[in-house]
Amino acid sequence: SQQGEEDPQALSIQEGENATMNCSYKTSINNLQWYRQNSGRGLVHLILIRSNEREKHSGRLRVTLDTSKKSSSLLITASRAADTASYFCATRRLSGYALNFGKGTSLLVTP
Amino acid sequence: EPEVTQTPSHQVTQMGQEVILRCVPISNHLYFYWYRQILGQKVEFLVSFYNNEISEKSEIFDDQFSVERPDGSNFTLKIRSTKLEDSAMYFCASPEAGLAADTQYFGPGTRLTVL
């Protein structure tokens, strides 16, 4: 498989705290994306970081990419109960434009 | 955000039966994907479809599966003889720009339960 794993598999924090999730991948990439999935729903694109970028921000999201370690992290600052969801990193398959997803991190934010 | 719709939201079928899952991708988009997610597992790519042809498929997409664009708007995934292990959420996705862009918009999914 081209795609590695996210860690932790599950994360439980309180509102206002920061949540950090990590992702590892196995092959060279052009970019890496993060998606969110609310329980039983479709995936929603959060942010894309290109291979020549080291860090990117979008609102309360901060993504880093270390291509030498083949890893990425997603930081959600000042978390809210509404951030409760599963978070997946995704890279493009070698053979085309479809995505390979990791197993995801399940985030629970309690009030 | 552009919307991808899928029907039905939930399909229950008996093992060995055929099912057809439907997707209405973003208007005027030519490039579509199907993914599945077995409960508690990661999202897996099944097939991509461009301009009325399969452009890429995974090892999961065997002869049991087929995709069609029966009219100008709908996009279907057919599973010919369902097995228990086909129980999963099935997602349709359109790429951001209508062509093979990296960012994809996902539909809400169809939950398939095979009994």
The string of pLDDT tens digits covering residues A75-108 is 999 999 999 999 999 998 877 788 999 889 999 9
Q: Which residues 6+ apart lie within 8 Å of B115 measured at CB?
A: B12, B13, B14, B15, B84
Mean pLDDT throughout B60-89?
A: 92
B89 C-beta neighbours (distance < 10 Å), count: 21
Confidence band of B50 (pLDDT split at 50, 70, 90): confident
Q: Which of A30-34, A50-54, B52-56, B59-63 has the lowest mean pLDDT?
A: B52-56
Mean pLDDT over each residue of chain B, to the nearest integer: 90
CA distances from B70 to B1, B20, B52, B106, B107 (A): 26, 12, 9, 20, 19
Identify the pLDDT of residue B100: 56
Which positions in chain B have a beta carbon within 8 angstroms of at least one beta carbon in chain A? 1, 4, 31, 33, 35, 41-45, 48, 55-56, 58, 89, 91, 95-96, 100-109, 111
Pairing type for strands B75-79 and B65-68 reads antiparallel
Confidence band of B32 (pLDDT split at 50, 70, 90): confident
- Between A3, A42, A102, which is nearest B91 by CB? A42
With a pLDDT cut of 70, the percent of chain B lying above it is: 96
Q: Which 8-state DSSP code applies to residue A2?
A: -
pLDDT at A1 over 70: no
User: What is d(CA B75, CA A28) in angstroms, rounded to the nearest whole number?
Assistant: 32
Identify the pLDDT of residue B29: 73
pLDDT at B102 over 90: no
Structure tokens at B89: 């959420």
pLDDT at B98 over 60: no
Structure tokens at A53: 């970028």
* pLDDT (tens digit per residue) in A22-80: 999 988 888 999 999 998 788 999 999 999 999 999 999 999 999 999 999 999 999 99
A97 touches chain B (CB under 8 A): yes
User: What is d(CA A48, CA A34) in angstroms, rounded to the nearest whole number?
Assistant: 7
Identify the pLDDT of residue B25: 80
Decide if B60 contacts B44 (C-beta within 8 A): yes
Tokens 């694109």 sit on residue: A45
Residue of A nearest to B91 (CA): A42
Nearest to A98 by CA among B40, B28, B61, B68: B61
Cross-chain Cβ contact A98/B56 below 8 Å? yes
Identify the pLDDT of residue B1: 67
